[in-house]
Amino acid sequence: MNDFRQQLAEDLVFAPGVWDGLTARLAEQAGFRALCASGFAISASLGLPDAELYSMSENLDAVRRIRGASRLPVVADIDTGYGNAVNAARTARMFADAGVSAVFMEDQMAPKRCPICVTDAPDLLPMGEAAGKIRAVRDEVGDQLVLIGRTDGIGDDAIRRAVAYVEAGAEMIMPISRGFPDAESWARLRRECGVPLMCSQTAWTWVAEQFTPEVMREIGIGLALLPTQILLAATTAMQDSLRALAAGTQPSQVSADYMEHREFLEVIGFDEVISRQEKYMPATLQED
């Protein structure tokens, strides 16, 4: 059985958006029980906006780095599945083989358009075609992955789509906040589709401000992503440091308020490596 599925059955799960091994390690050390391989953050780490400009392979490479640094369950963003139903099934298989525990796939036409980055509504696939992609993924991976169907639809259309996606094999539904603008509309979606919801508590959105854990549990949200909080925090800190250095501030002053070098070595596990070397490597090899 997928252990992450059991975790979801027990209580609301929070998953911060990570994009590489360091952020995955930091999230685990902070005490989170799951991670989100955030497409927004992975795209940003490549210096690109979240407009499906990177390839499936680049996304998969990032997920493998995340998995290599942490054993926590990973919820992966597979965008539109990178093609039709057959492509989506192959994508899901490769992500499952990489060790992820869940994937979410949207019903936009490719290339996708991030709803928090544009003002107009994106073009959606016909409902039957979108449901067919979910069915193809489910048939390919069986119970190996928790399959989350995302819809960028609005109102009643989104509810019809959610019901169809559940019938096709989705275990959770992810609406966008634009389509369901208050807690009651989310609760209605939960009643209509019959499965738990996943929400994206993207920084600076009303969902992040108003959806407390108590509210989310009450309306049937089982999984809450935190996709951009640490990305924005890291970017702010890096910008501040780089601007100060470029302006001629002494490096010692720039780093004065940051963790010390020794602390960072502990964070990334340097002592663990030394301990393993001492355990498994003969002293003569260590000297070499």
| Active centre residues (catalytic) | 50
Tally of CA atoms within 13 A in the half-sphere of 143 that contains its CB: 6
Instruction: Report the largest interatomic distance among the alpha carbons of the chain, rounded to a whole angstrom.
Output: 71
**Regarding beta strands 146-151 and 221-226, do their DSSP bridges make them parallel or antiparallel, or are they unpaired?**
unpaired
Quote the CA–CA distance of 36 and 16 in Å, as a whole number.
Answer: 6
Rounded Cα distance, 162 and 127, in Å: 9
In terms of Cβ atoms closer than 10 Å to its own Cβ (0-12, 13-18, 19+), residue 246 is exposed
Cβ burial of 240 (10 Å; 0-12, 13-18, 19+) is: exposed
Tokens describing residue 213 = 């854990």
